[in-house]
A and B are shown apart, each in its own frame.
Chain A
Amino acid sequence: MDRTQLLLWLSIALFALGLTGVMVRRNALVMLMCMELMLNGVILSVVTFAERTATTSGAVLVFLVFVVAAAEIAIAIPIVLLLARQRRTLDVGAYSGLKG
């Protein structure tokens, strides 16, 4: 198989696995980690295309996405911890009141 094709297939697989995880898992932290997996799959495809076309802007974009991901985690984890402190559980079923 062509190398680009292999990496794109891998990125699709990682994204689909992460999406499944977000939908089926019950633990809020695990859902957060599955979102990271989806993000990693997308980054893999960006890096593959950046390498294939030899463009600096692609790699710079990946750097910016890394920064945003770090900021996202720095805010998401305190929110999850506050939720866990309030209801004493991380089971998303306990937060069904958030549906409105």
Chain B
Amino acid sequence: MSPENVLLYFFAAAALGGGVLMLLARHPMRVALALIVTMVSLAGIYAILGVHVIAVFQVLIYVGAVMVFMVYVIMLLDVRDPSFLERYGRAVVPSVAIAALLAVALGAAVSGGRAVTAAELAELHPGRAPASFAVQPFSAEFIEDYWLHFELTSVLLLAAVVAAIAVVKAGRRQDG
């Protein structure tokens, strides 16, 4: 087994372990830390796959922005909340059964599939080389072909900021 594959298995196991811990941990802070373990492991997997841009985004956006926000909110909350003490609701067994059934159904589809052949891959890119995911070539192609999408995301983010401020303002008006 090559060292790359060893790392891949290690990160896959860490991601899976973090996901399981999320279900078992009692305190939301531990759940958040387990989720961070999963996200960093996924970033490692993306880096091993050679999709460096996505690996960097995963760490910057998910771990750096989303999870830090989440951890701050958990620290703001009251630790005597009943939902901190009692982990699970009523329908544990049917919920686990539904999720297991879904996993088995999807897994059957995955194991029934076959690998893409080189000829089929070539058909996907008529007349051009397969894309590279290293930072420099990817960024150049991104900005050249998808500049409109990139600009549209800034509009979306602006709308999200306005919406967040509106939500907070609405809450203040209710209180006062």
Contact = CB atoms under 8 A, between A and B. Distances in A.
Contacts of A14: 15-16, 19, 38
A92 B83 contact: yes
Contacts of B65: 70, 73
A15 B16 CA distance: 11
Nearest to B146: A60
A65 B114 CA distance: 27
B86 A26 contact: yes
A28 B74 CA distance: 11
Interface in A20-40: 20-21, 23-30, 32-34, 36-37, 40
A10 B23 contact: no
Given A54-B131, A59-B138, A12 B107 contact: yes
Contacts of A56: 131, 138, 141-142, 145-146
Given A23-B99, A29-B28, A63-B57, A47 B77 contact: no
Contacts of B22: 17, 21, 30, 33-34, 37
B131 A81 contact: no
Interface residues of B, number: 87
Contact of B124 (A53, A86, A89): A53
B131 A6 contact: no
A99 interface: no
A59 B89 contact: no
B124 A67 contact: no
Contact of B51 (A59, A69, A73): A59
B149 A64 contact: yes
Contacts of B157: 67, 70-71
A53 B49 contact: no
A74 interface: yes
Given A5-B111, A60-B142, A64-B153, A48 B49 contact: yes
A9 to B, nearest CB: 6
Contact of B160 (A44, A55, A75, A85): A75
Contacts of B62: 36, 40, 66, 69
Q: Ordered nearest first, which 5 A-B pairs have the shortest CB separation?
A: A54-B130, A71-B160, A23-B95, A91-B83, A16-B103
5 contacts: A17-B23, A71-B157, A85-B175, A89-B82, A90-B83
Given A20-B95, A67-B156, 7 more contacts: A3-B5, A6-B8, A6-B12, A16-B100, A21-B22, A75-B160, A85-B175
